[in-house]
Amino acid sequence: MNGELITTIVFYIILYTSLACFAIPILFFLLWTFTGFFKKHIALFYVVAVILFTAFPALFYFTQKFWILWFYPFPSWVQIAGLFLWFLAIIIVKVSEMNIGRLVRMFYPLLKGKKFHLKTTGIYKYLRHPIYAAFVLMVLGAVFYTGQLVLLLPLVFNLLTRTWYASKEEAYTKHIIIGDYDAYKKKTPNRFYPKF
């Protein structure tokens, strides 16, 4: 494989996975929170998840002639920084999943209502919602790397919905978490970025 082909493959992987980030807030924050239907029909929830994760990249692909107007050719150092942010976000997600367990992340809808122990070590010592922060960071990195300013739409959408949902989740967490959540909030005051 030549370098140009590898660069193109990386470009499209980053672009389309970042576009798929539109689906996550819609699934969990809108469909799961506001409709009791999906809580009763978990299998259908996962079917809709696959459809949405496929739909947003496909929608972009079939309308890309329009989005080309939103392209901005960033300098190489900005693209490299974007690539770094994107991979950093992947690492944050993986480290966070290791801290809380993949089972909790993958099957959270099925486990809703069960008691969990409060995680205050590892990456959770520095931020309360590292996975939410990572997805926002991932899309920001994709904007810088690809130059596709259309990705600002999922970036803003993710930021708004995750901020709203984090506050709802924290209120709910006090009832299902074994541990002092208020003390944890004081020790780790920031939701999405570490305290400097």
Q: What is the pLDDT of residue 36?
A: 66
Assigned CATH for 3-187: 1.20.120
Domain boundary assignment for the chain: 3-187
Spatial contact of 150 and 14, defined as CB atoms under 8 Å apart: no
Give me the DSSP letters along the chain. Answer: --HHHHHHHHHHHHHHHHHHTTHHIIIIIIIIHH-SHHHH-HHHHHHHHHHHHHHHHHHHHHTHHHHGGGB----HHHHHHHHHHHHHHHHHHHHHHHHH-HHHHHTHHHHTTS-EEPP-SGGGGT-S-HHHHHHHHHHHHHHHHH-BGGGHHHHHHHHHHHHHHHHHHHHHHHHHEES-HHHHHHHS--SSS---
- Report d(CA 60, CA 73) in Å as an integer: 19
Q: What is the pLDDT of residue 106?
A: 43
Q: What is the pLDDT of residue 113?
A: 58
Q: What is the pLDDT of residue 105?
A: 46
Among residues 5, 143, 154, the alpha carbon closest in space to that of 86 is found at 143
What are the per-10-residue average pLDDT scores of the chain (196 residues)?
Answer: 70 74 69 67 77 78 75 88 89 76 47 64 82 85 86 82 79 69 80 71
Report pTM: 0.74
Close Cβ partners of 11 (under 8 Å, ≥ 6 residues apart): 145, 146
Q: What is the pLDDT of residue 48?
A: 79
Q: What is the pLDDT of residue 116?
A: 64
Spatial contact of 119 and 100, defined as CB atoms under 8 Å apart: yes
Spatial contact of 192 and 136, defined as CB atoms under 8 Å apart: yes
- Report d(CA 161, CA 168) in Å as an integer: 11
